[in-house]
Structure formats: structure tokens, C-alpha cells
Structure 1
Amino acid sequence: MATVRIGRTIGVEGESVEFVSLFRSHYPRTVAMLIAYYGFAPEIAEDAAAEAMTRLYLHWGKVKVPSAWVRTVALRVARELGKQQSLGLPDRELVNSGAADDLGRVELALMAGSAVAALPRRQREVMTLTLVDMTPSEIADVLGCSPEQARSNLAHARRTLRNAIQGEEGDGGPDTRRGKRA
């Protein structure tokens, strides 16, 4: 994981504290967004988020909406890094072996993943960003819509997922689905 040291006092008193606060809250979210929403490798996402935060630090005081600026710069940097690197398959396991011990959790995760993938594009985008702990206002900034639209899409996505997962849990197989006969 990339490490960024922040210690220099800059410009007007208090700006450094504001930057540290923004860094602590937005660095992990930016990394998560790049991985979950855009599909970048964790190494690229961490490097891109660190670079975006470094650039923000250098331009602190000039940037009007730092959280949106960081997301935009991080995405641009990640795309550039993605072009430059061909990472292939990761060297580490893709599945946490501890989670595999509990088959019920694994099955639920697979059902949820399949259900999310089956959602309409905008609902899938909103749900994915929600799962990386973004608020509807932050999601609206990323997707270029209003917070109300983000909330509405999230409500529809949750309803669809709830129905899909409840249907799968009650499903005894292809021949015993509700309303289906062998």
C-alpha cells in the first residue's frame, strides 16, 4: 500500500489540518472507487490515489471542490498507469481462504455479486459506489446526476437485490422455482 507523509505546514493556518482530514477520509474511498467501480488493480488504484492526493497538496488553496478534484485526477492517473503497466494475473489468491470455510457466506456473496451484475447500468453503478462507502451526494458527483437521482436508483437497486436474493434463498433448484413446474 502506498504511504504518503503529510507534515509540512502550508499557506494559511489550518489548511494543513483540513488537508489531513480530507486525505484520511478520501484516500481509502478513492482507492475503493477505482477498484470496485472502474476495475483497476489495487496497486494501480493505490498509486493513482496517492498521486492525486500529492497533486492536490501542491495545489491546495486553488482547488474549489477537493473531493471531486481528487476523484477526477485519480481516475486520469489510473488510466495512464493502466496503459503503461500490464499486470497480468495477481500473484496472490483472489479468494480469502477464511471466507471459503463458510460456504453459506460464499454462496450469499456469489448470489449478491450475480444480482448486482444483473442490475441495469445506472443502478449497478450506484450500488457499487455505495458498497465502497460513498454517500448519495458523492455518488452524484461521480456519475454527474443529482443526489435525488442517486438515492432513487439506490432504492430501486436495493429492492431488486432484496427480491433476487430472497428468490434465490427459497429456490430449491431449477425445477422447484416459484411458479415453475418440472
Structure 2
Amino acid sequence: MDAFTAGLLQRIRATESDLVRAQGATEQERTEFAAFFRKDWPDLLRHMAVLGWDEAAAKEAAQEAMTRLFEGWSTVDHPKSWVRTTAQRAAKKAASRDAQRLTRSREAARLDAQEPSRALDSVTESQEVLRLLRTLPPQQRAVMAWTYDGFSSDEISHLLAIPRATVDSHRRHARNRLKEILRRRFEGAEGGEHQ
């Protein structure tokens, strides 16, 4: 067993007691999952490689799929096919997110290469956006930062360890707050022009 697999098993065991309590899993279910994991992990990685995923992407997607399988072990009828489908979806989602980040990076590089006055406008605009975001409460600011970086509500929920509904609520409140700030600024600017 390689270090990555051993580490994954250790993380699953570390969270196992919380998940068992939350899911109501029995000792038998935990034992069944552990046996499935040990037997299927190498096959799952091979499956992902055959589908064309590189080793790092395959391991990340397989880890996510196995963790999700553990969380829902008692409700999954066909774990072998379920974990493969879930890993494939996780890999596609990660690849899409990575492609979006690359596109944003390329766009930022393109903006940097523009004529100096346009690049300066872009920097000034970015600084203004940062100032506005800093007016938000910490949780709303965190959700907006992850959203800006292309993460989905589910991913943000997992990363911040808060329910998805809370993520969506923070995003909604942040957007409303920012709209209100901008509306007041716009109205103030219009009022100043007519005087």
C-alpha cells in the first residue's frame, strides 16, 4: 500500500467515529466498507487510468468517491459501480474547475499585457472590488472568495465545513449587501452631478 492510500485510510478511520454516529453505521457496515476499500482501491485507480485520467487526478477523484461512499455506505446497493461513477464525475468536475481557473489566469495575463492605462484601470477596478468585499462579514467574505475562484456551493460547503444552505445564504446576503452599497454610491454620484 502506497503512502497516499495509507493516508487516505487513516483519514477515513479518523473521521469514522463521527460518521458512524451521524450515519448510524454498525460495526459490520464499517468492516464491510473497510474490506471493500482495500480490495477495490487499486482497481478503482486502474479504472480511472484506463479512462484517461492522470495519476494525481485519478487519486483525488477516487479519494472523494471513496469518502462519499463511506458516508453513504448503508444506502448504496452497488458500491463497485457507484464508486466508479462518482469518481468519474468528481474527476470531470475538478477538470472543469481547473480549466475555468486556467481561463481566468490567461485573461488576467492578457489584461496585464494590455496598454498601461487599461491595465491600470483593471488594477484600480480590482482594488475597488477588494475594498467592497472587505466590508462584508467574515463568513460572507469567505464564501464570496471561494465563489470568485470558481468553487461550487457543494465544494465551498465541504471546504468551510458549513451546510450548503448556509453557503447559499451567505452568498445571497453578500450579493444583496454589495448591490445596496453600489446603489447608494451610484445615487450619490448622480446627485452630485446635478447640483
Higher helix share: 2
* Greater RCO (Cα-Cα under 8 Å, separation 6 or more): 1
Q: Please state which band the TM-score falls in when normalised by the shorter chain.
A: 0.3 to 0.5
What TM-score, normalized by structure 2, do the two folds share? 0.43
From the CA coordinates, give the structure whose radius of gyration is larger. Answer: 2
What TM-score, normalized by structure 1, do the two folds share? 0.45
